[in-house]
Amino acid sequence: MNARSWAAALRQWRGPSRHFFKDLLGGGSAVIDGVSTDATADLEPFNSDWMRKYKGHTKLVIKPASTEELSKALKFCNDEMLAVVPQGGNSGLVGGSVPVYDEIVISTSRMNKTRSFDPVSGVLVVDAGCILETVDHFLAERGHIFPLDLGAKGSCQIGGNVATNAGGLRLLRYGSLHGTVLGLEVVLPDGTVMDDLTTLRKNNTGYDLKQLFIGGEGTLGVITGVSIHCPQRSQAVNVAFFGLESFEKVQEAYREAKSQLSEILSAFELMDGQSQELVHHVTKKKRPLEGEHPFYCLVETSGSNAEHDSEKLQNFLEHVMEKEIVADGVQAQDESQIQSLWSWREGIPECLGHWGGVYKYDVSIPLSDLYKLVEDTRARLNSAGLIGNEDEQPVVAVVGYGHMGDSNLHLNVATRRFDKAVEEMLEPFVYEWIAKRNGSISAEHGLGLQKKPYIGYSRSETMIRLMKQIKTLFDPVSPEARLER
């Protein structure tokens, strides 16, 4: 939905259409006008991503409160050839939700109503701007659970989650949003509303068009409503945390977990020793285990019988320790300990940013090679003399963690500052490494600005051409898709 630069938008703003958005959306915070007034401070959160890596220069943010308002706003922008960028919670990691240049930002933050919930079917219908954590609390009060959990749940929005096909911590148990989302309401670039907000789990009537918008990153339209199937919340949740001496042992533990915990296994998270050392360094918290290990795993089970599930997890832990797959482990005894153990996994992203910048690569790799990318990247940066404790060495550490059950690795390079020498060592090296192993350069979060030049490492020329044709079909005024910018 890029049409032309802000220079054109500025002319429109000063002309007869100057008051269009204020007349449409009302006064107050619905429109942040940085054209006729100095609103730099108010615009800053919309121009910068949370990693402080990408920065746009928008002078105008609009916040429609309904699908109708958003439809009228998009139609106006389309007719007047004004470039826009949709933005939810702005918690993405690839620069996909901030302006490339000076586009008008369309924020969905005021579209935050729960439209309906059926406690029998478990189908929830919400506005796109609803906060993930707020929605999950709403469901918890009704005995259900949202089939997605993220570290950014306190700020990310449901529409953005769907637009980036977020995976998160519950995918192992509940699957991806391609399966759990039942219907969508989307405003297309010309303002047309595509109402496919069905609550049916089965609807085999023609093409399943909603799938184009799940993971489409807002390039084909702006999601305004989501219908999603939410499972019954498990009454019994148990967590174990253990240390292992090699990645081979990690793979053995995962096989045993699938075999012994099967129907109640809800998460199997991987963390390397360096990531846990950095969390300990920043938080000063007491470690869950006495000794230090090269690898750690967190296993969560969710079921209906607390005593049965706890015993099953305890038996699993004893088994893998007896077979010397696991070196040491602990099982949470109450909710407080469960949250404490999870904090060692969920606290990693925030702690990595303690020194300055972080280069993040959220990728999918066949399990057997999953951690080798971390080792090879660490060795590459070490050989270049970029890792160390001195200020002139920009890299603090190279760590790996992620969703073992999804073959999803988070390769993170914690730095004292963003540095061109580091970037040149990382890219395209990381993408070439992944392509050789038939992996994906984007497991979650999408392409955004960071990965758009590298899509060819994961998609064929035929698939890229088809994507461009689809983009042109939906947005003929702006034939340049994100892939072509």
> What pLDDT, on the 0 to 100 scale, is given for residue 18?
52
End-to-end CA, the chain:
11
Q: Report residue 64's pLDDT band, with 50, 70 and 90 as the boundaries.
A: very high
Q: For residue 464, which of 484, 450, 438, 445 has the smallest C-alpha distance?
A: 484
Segment among 33-42, 164-173, 241-250 with least mean pLDDT: 33-42
Dihedral, 296, 300, 305, 311 alpha carbons, nearest 10: -10
Model confidence band, residue 17 (pLDDT cutoffs 50, 70, 90):
low
Report pLDDT digits (tens) over 263-296. Answer: 999 999 999 999 999 999 999 999 999 999 999 9
The rounded distance, in Å, linking the Cα atoms of 60 and 97 is 15
Task: Report H helices in 18-149.
Answer: 20-25, 40-47, 67-79, 132-140
SS3 label, residue 95: coil
Q: Are 225 and 128 in contact (CB under 8 A)?
A: yes
CA dihedral angle for residue 470, residue 429, residue 403, residue 45, rounded to 10 degrees: -70
What pTM does this model have? 0.91
Q: Which of 265, 253, 247 is nearest to 317 (CA)?
A: 253
Q: pLDDT tens digits for 401-412?
A: 999 989 999 999
What does the pLDDT read at residue 28?
74
77 or 479: which leads in pLDDT: 77
Strand extents, DSSP E, 278-383: 295-303, 328-331, 357-364
Q: At what angle do helices 429-436 and 372-383 cross, to 10 degrees?
A: 150
The pLDDT, as a whole number, for residue 374 is 98
- Which of 355, 328, 130, 172 is CA-nearest to residue 240? 328
Max Cα-Cα span within the chain? 77
* pLDDT (average), residues 67-80: 96
CB 274 within 8 A of CB 397: yes
- Report phi then psi at 320, rounded to 5: -70, -25
Number of H helices, E strands in the chain: 18, 16
Q: Does position 456 have pLDDT exceeding 50, yes or no?
A: yes
Nearest alpha-carbon partner for 408 in 277, 244, 269, 272: 269
